[in-house]
Each structure stands twice: as structure tokens, then as C-alpha cells.
Amino acid sequence: MTAFELHVDTPVDLEITGKFVAPSSDWVHLSRVLQDYELIVMTEGVLYLAGDKQQFVVSKGEYLLLPPLTRQYGTRSSDCCFYWLHFSAKSGITITDVATSSHSEQDNVILLPQYGTLKSLEKIIVMMKQLQDSVRGYNHKTLNNYMATVILCELYNQLFHADSNPSKKTKQEQLYNDIVDYIKWSRSEHIKVSQIAAYFGYNDKYLSHLFTTISGISLKQYILQQKMELAKFLLADTNQNISEVSIQLGYTDCHNFMKSFKKIVGLTPSDFRNAYAKRLLFYE
């Protein structure tokens, strides 16, 4: 697979960034020749896009990175939503192949495959929102360049450092990872430790002890943290009011949600949303 080796001794140059929402279900991406690198992070729907002669189908939770001078055009209607980031690099970017790259031997180089699946879409979205808030709120070029570089580094870490040696997982570690995945996909529900234990066929206390031993935090606390990660995404990326967010997370009492959010995040839901209220929304 095509990949790009990027030196991060110095930051990339941020050109422009924003969020795009298709104005209708029959929207087709415009045709143009890119003048810089473009990173697309899909948050909803499917984008049908071509780069020169190669066609891509990019779904929610996936990303696409296209280089300068690429002839970019839509191949069919795309009812979708995505964040995008245009950047260039003074140090230059080397086009290579994932299989042959020696990036792991250099601490100052990150490798970005042209296309892939993110481990944590929500984390990337919050970082993109922070960058947009900085662009609109401070307009400090050097700061924005570093923030854009951090997003690219986070992308690299999610792709290559999430699981360093899957072949040596023990049975307990695999169970732990299954629990993590279960919580991730069920965190919008009102889930309890007893429910998770019943699902996997284990005793509550055993499962809680195993999870705490591996992760360093209690299972109950992890469930709460994951709910608040989803809450941060909803507050940063949607216009739902706080009551609607609390209901979507399985809370029957909005005040309990606000109390939990303040305890985990350190800000009230309103303060968190207001801190990153300068989202850049573009309709092409």
C-alpha cells in the first residue's frame, strides 16, 4: 500500500482545515487538482472519491490521505460528513510502501498509509475541533502548524502503536480486549458490570478484578470514562443540547450526567462545548 514518510523534526505547514457536511444525498465531490496534501477523516456516511486513476470508498471511522498534484474527483453521489485538513511540509514527504518502509528505525519519522481505519475516531475529531478553534480563535500560524502535526502523529500512533504484539496475548488479555470492545460499542446504553459479566459468562468480582489488574482502573470507572469520551465527541461535533446528549448516553437524569462529566473531564458540558465553539463548517 502507498504510504507517506513524514519528518516531524519541524511542524508541517497548515494551509486550511474544516468540517464538511454534504448539503444533499446526491452531492458529488468536485473535480480539482490538489495543491497540497489533504487528509480526510470520515465521521458519517460514505465518500466515493478518486485520486487520479485510483478510486476510494471511505466510510465512517476511516481516513484518506492524498498528495499534491492529485486529480481529485467524486465518482458517485456521497451522502456523508467528514473533517479535512490541507497541509504541506518544508522538510518534504517521501512516497513509499508500507511493506518496505524503514520508518521504525527513525524516531523523527512517521509513516502514514494512504488509507486506513482509525482506532479512535472520537479522539481525532476532538483534536480536529481543537485545531479549528485555534485557527478561528487565535490565528497563530506556528501554534496551528504544531497542532496539525500532532494530529498526524496521533493518526500514526493509532495505526502502529495500538497493539505491539498481538500474537503473545494471554487468554485473560484477550478477554480484557473483548470487554473493552463491548464497552466501546455499548457505551451509549446504561450498562453495568453485572451485565458485562453475564454477557461473557463470568463472575462480577472476577471480571472486575481481572480488568483492574490489566488496566489499572476499575471496570466501573472505565465504563464511565468511555461514556465521557463519547460525550466529548457529541458536544464537540454535534448541535445536540446537553439533555439530548445525556439521553443518548443512557442517563435518565441530566444532572447526574453533568455531575459525572465534570468529575471526569474537569469542565461542565457547557464549558467544554464553549471552549471549542469555533467549528469551521464548509459546504463545497
* Domain hosting residue 249, numbered range: 166-275
User: Cell 466510510 maps to which residue?
Assistant: 59
The domain boundary residue, chosen from 134, 160, 186: 160
Instruction: Please tell me whether residues 152 and 18 are part of one structural domain.
Output: yes
Instruction: Please tell me whether residues 187 and 76 are part of one structural domain.
Output: no
Q: What are 135-171's pLDDT values in tens digits?
A: 988 878 999 999 999 999 999 999 987 554 444 457 8
d(CA 66, CA 127): 20
Q: What is the average per-residue pLDDT within 18-46?
A: 95
Instruction: Please tell me whether residues 113 and 217 are part of one structural domain.
Output: no
The domain boundary residue, chosen from 126, 160, 194: 160
Minimum mean pLDDT range among 16-25, 35-44, 177-186: 177-186
**Alpha helix stretches (DSSP H) within the chain:** 121-137, 141-160, 171-186, 193-200, 204-215, 219-237, 242-248, 254-265, 269-275
Instruction: Tell me, yes or no, whether 43 lies in a domain.
Output: yes
CATH assignment of the domain containing 194: 1.10.10.60
Instruction: Tell me, yes or no, whether 281 lies in a domain.
Output: no
Instruction: Please tell me whether residues 186 and 51 are part of one structural domain.
Output: no
CATH assignment of the domain containing 53: 2.60.120.280
Q: What is the SS3 assignment for 271?
A: helix
Q: What is the average per-residue pLDDT within 238-259?
A: 92
Instruction: Tell me, yes or no, whether 254 lies in a domain.
Output: yes
Instruction: Please tell me whether residues 150 and 205 are part of one structural domain.
Output: no
Instruction: Tell me, yes or no, whether 280 lies in a domain.
Output: no
Instruction: Tell me, yes or no, whether 241 lies in a domain.
Output: yes
3-state helix, strand, coil in the chain (%, to 5): 45, 25, 30
Using the predicted structure, report yes or no on whether residue 254 has a pLDDT greater than 80. yes
Residue 3 confidence (pLDDT): 93
Instruction: Tell me, yes or no, whether 251 lies in a domain.
Output: yes
Instruction: Tell me, yes or no, whether 140 lies in a domain.
Output: yes
Using the predicted structure, report yes or no on whether residue 43 has a pLDDT greater than 90. yes
The domain boundary residue, chosen from 101, 135, 160: 160
**Alpha helix stretches (DSSP H) within 36-192:** 121-137, 141-160, 171-186
Instruction: Please tell me whether residues 114 and 186 are part of one structural domain.
Output: no
Instruction: Please tell me whether residues 35 and 149 are part of one structural domain.
Output: yes
Instruction: Please tell me whether residues 132 and 182 are part of one structural domain.
Output: no
Per the CB < 8 A criterion, the answer to whether 179 and 211 are in contact is yes
